[in-house]
Amino acid sequence: MLVSFGVRLILYQHLHIVLIILSFVGHGDARVTSTFVRSEWPSTDIPLENEAFAIPKGHNAPQQVHITQGDYDGKAVIISWVTTAEPGPSKVQYGASKDNSEFTAEGTVTNYTFYNYKSGYIHHCLVDGLEYNTKYYYKIGVGDSSREFWFQTPPKIDPDASYTFGVIGDLGQTFNSLSTLEHYMQSGGQTVLYVGDLSYADRYTYNDVGIRWDSWGRFIERSTAYQPWIWSAGNHEIEYMPNMGEVLPFKSYLQRFSTPHTASNSSNPLWYAVRRASAHIIVLSSYSPFVKYTPQWMWLREELKKVDREKTPWLIILMHMPIYSSNLAHYMEGESMRAVFESWFVCFKVDLIFAGHVHAYERSYRISNIHYNVSSGDRYPVPDKSAPVYITVGDGGNQEGLAGRFWDPQPDYSAFREASYGHSTLEIRNRTHAFYHWNRNDDGKKVKTDSVVFYNQYWASNLHRRRGLQKSHCKL
Ligand SMILES: [Fe+2]
């Protein structure tokens, strides 16, 4: 293992090997505030008539095709699409052979209004009972307007299953967004962990809100039709717009993006969990109640008890609002969730927590601030081997632009920060190691900028710590 590990380092790390070594060292002088400056596309949305939003040809052709995991363990997908002229069938024909769609699944169709905008017919179809590690071809739509796509199911749940996740947040629909999306698609990522703020349609008013959700659906289809994106919601999904008579939070998002929340016994599609390959992924909602005794709090308490590091060593949490960020934008907005959940994250030795919201990139060291209890205790973050690494990837490229101002000097908890657009990749190799990169959009090229090897919080621990976690001593 040591030999292959060394080879991987040489292949992957390029000039940034120094950063990796420093990340092992931990605290001290290793903190980096990157001052890299690059040209960028303007922070304006791509015009609607641009081919990035091309409408597929043919009467009532399915558009805005996207898939997500459809069950707890990765043997199902939910396939979603929109038809505009008429509902048409909510049927998916699929099979493991390109020329023989031997199976059929039946879905549902809905639509909704937003101000005077009337949505197209939104289809969601659960395709379940799939085999692991298999390429499936699927067909939706009718006759000449039908369209065909494919996806690959993950390996079965196994502690040593290798798998590559992409992490994207705050994407929007500018040319910077397109650059991020295209770079991700070249990365070899197999599934996207999406950390909230999708279309930024709420930057528009009246009927344009719905129209920009539709354009975003067509924009992301180049990736989402072929691999699952694991969704979490951000503040731009709330769309509380009383001046337009729209006050139902998350209306467009919930209509358009389905999640497998019932498979993890969640009562709400905004928070849920899935297991995929060697990872247990928990999705939280930063903008739903989470204090003690709320449904989200009670659900998370039960879900954490279900995590089995012997089967899924990698425990990953997604949320929109970062808990640790040293950017001036949205500073300390995550403090209320930190106060409620941080002690659980530490006790359960969460590996990684990904968030968005702040339009920049930042990675923390393993730190916690759980000793302060209002009455006494330290009230600042301290190094903590049991704590997660917090990573902000709110740099997808939306029209609001970059958040370029950081607290100065860089706090001790911050390992690397840079205000550039990009995305992350997490290559899980086995139960002990994962290669992680933040990939900057650098003048149209994808450049691996912050590269780290993560050791699993359970399997890379010594036996004593592992037994401690097995005994589940955490106070819940
Ligand atoms: Fe946000």
Kindly report the CATH number assigned to the domain that includes residue 100. Answer: 2.60.40.380
Q: Is the same domain home to 139 and 168?
A: no
- The answer to whether position 129 is within a domain reads yes
Q: Is the same domain home to 273 and 402?
A: yes
| Tens-place pLDDT, residues 5-14 | 444 444 444 4
Mean pLDDT, residues 456-466 taken together: 84
Domain count across the chain:
2
d(CA 109, CA 97): 27
- Let me know: does 171 contact 198? Beta carbons within 8 Å: yes
- The answer to whether position 436 is within a domain reads yes
- The answer to whether position 51 is within a domain reads no
Q: What is the pLDDT of residue 2?
A: 41
Torsions phi, psi for 406 (to 5 deg): -110, 155
Q: What is the pLDDT of residue 16?
A: 45
**Distances 1 to 4, 22, 47, 430, 432 between C-alpha atoms, Å:** 5, 22, 50, 11, 11
Distance 275 CA to ligand 1 centre (A): 26
Name the nearest CA neighbour of 436 among 426, 445, 428: 426
* Segments forming the whole domain that contains residue 67: 63-152
Distance 378 CA to ligand 1 centre (A): 30
Q: What is the pLDDT of residue 246?
A: 98
Distance 334 CA to ligand 1 centre (A): 11
| Tens-place pLDDT, residues 159-195 | 999 999 999 999 999 999 999 999 999 999 999 999 9
- The answer to whether position 53 is within a domain reads no
d(CA 24, CA 30): 10
How does residue 36 score in pLDDT terms, banded at 50, 70 and 90? Answer: confident
Q: What is the pLDDT of residue 12?
A: 45
Q: Is the same domain home to 188 and 331?
A: yes
> Which parts of 234-341 are beta strand (E)?
272-276, 279-283, 314-318
Mean pLDDT, residues 126-154 taken together: 98
Mean pLDDT, residues 121-147 taken together: 98
Q: What is the pLDDT of residue 26?
A: 41
Q: What is the pLDDT of residue 140?
A: 98
Q: Is the same domain home to 13 and 131?
A: no
Q: Verify whether residue 330 is a known catalytic residue.
A: yes
Q: What is the pLDDT of residue 443?
A: 67
Q: Is the same domain home to 293 and 424?
A: yes
Q: Is the same domain home to 148 and 191?
A: no
Distance 57 CA to ligand 1 centre (A): 34
Active-site hit among 14, 16, 320, 330: 330
Out of 152, 174, 194, pick the residue that ends a domain. 152
Torsions phi, psi for 282 (to 5 deg): -110, 125
How does residue 20 score in pLDDT terms, banded at 50, 70 and 90? Answer: very low
Distance 152 CA to ligand 1 centre (A): 31
pLDDT at 133 over 70: yes
Q: Compute the half-sphere exposure of residue 461: CA atoms within 13 Å on the CB side of its CA.
A: 21
Distance 325 CA to ligand 1 centre (A): 13
Q: Is the same domain home to 384 and 405?
A: yes
How does residue 73 score in pLDDT terms, banded at 50, 70 and 90? Answer: very high
Out of 131, 152, 173, pick the residue that ends a domain. 152
| Tens-place pLDDT, residues 55-70 | 999 999 999 999 999 9
Q: Is the same domain home to 333 and 421?
A: yes
- The answer to whether position 196 is within a domain reads yes
DSSP string, 392-432: EE--S--TT-----B-SSPPTTEEEEE---EEEEEEE-SSS
Q: What is the pLDDT of residue 472?
A: 61
Q: What is the pLDDT of residue 22?
A: 40
Candidate from 66-80, 103-117, 432-446, 455-469 with smallest mean pLDDT: 455-469
- Let me know: does 424 contact 166? Beta carbons within 8 Å: yes
Torsions phi, psi for 114 (to 5 deg): -140, 110
Q: Which residues contact 407 (CB under 8 A, 6 or more apart)?
A: 326, 327, 328, 331
The average confidence (pLDDT) of the chain is: 92
Q: Is the same domain home to 335 and 243?
A: yes
Mean pLDDT, residues 255-280 taken together: 98
Distance 237 CA to ligand 1 centre (A): 9
Q: Is the same domain home to 227 and 261?
A: yes
- The answer to whether position 55 is within a domain reads no
pLDDT at 462 over 80: no
**Residues paired with residue 174 on neighbouring β-strands, in sequence order:** 45
**Residues paired with residue 445 on neighbouring β-strands, in sequence order:** 442
- Is residue 15 exposed (0-12), middle (13-18) or buried (19+ Cβ within 10 Å)? exposed
Q: What is the pLDDT of residue 34?
A: 87
- The answer to whether position 277 is within a domain reads yes
Distance 208 CA to ligand 1 centre (A): 20
Q: What is the pLDDT of residue 37?
A: 67
| Tens-place pLDDT, residues 348-388 | 999 999 999 999 999 999 999 999 989 999 899 999 999 99
Q: Is the same domain home to 401 and 454?
A: yes
pLDDT at 154 over 90: yes
Distance 246 CA to ligand 1 centre (A): 20
pLDDT at 17 over 80: no
| Tens-place pLDDT, residues 336-348 | 999 999 999 999 9
d(CA 412, CA 37): 24
Out of 152, 176, 195, pick the residue that ends a domain. 152
Place of tokens 């308490």: 301
Q: Is the same domain home to 258 and 380?
A: yes
- The answer to whether position 158 is within a domain reads no
State percent of the chain over pLDDT 90: 85
- Is residue 384 exposed (0-12), middle (13-18) or buried (19+ Cβ within 10 Å)? middle
CATH number for the domain harbouring residue 319 = 3.60.21.10
3-state secondary structure of 363: strand
- Is residue 158 exposed (0-12), middle (13-18) or buried (19+ Cβ within 10 Å)? middle
State percent of the chain over pLDDT 70: 92
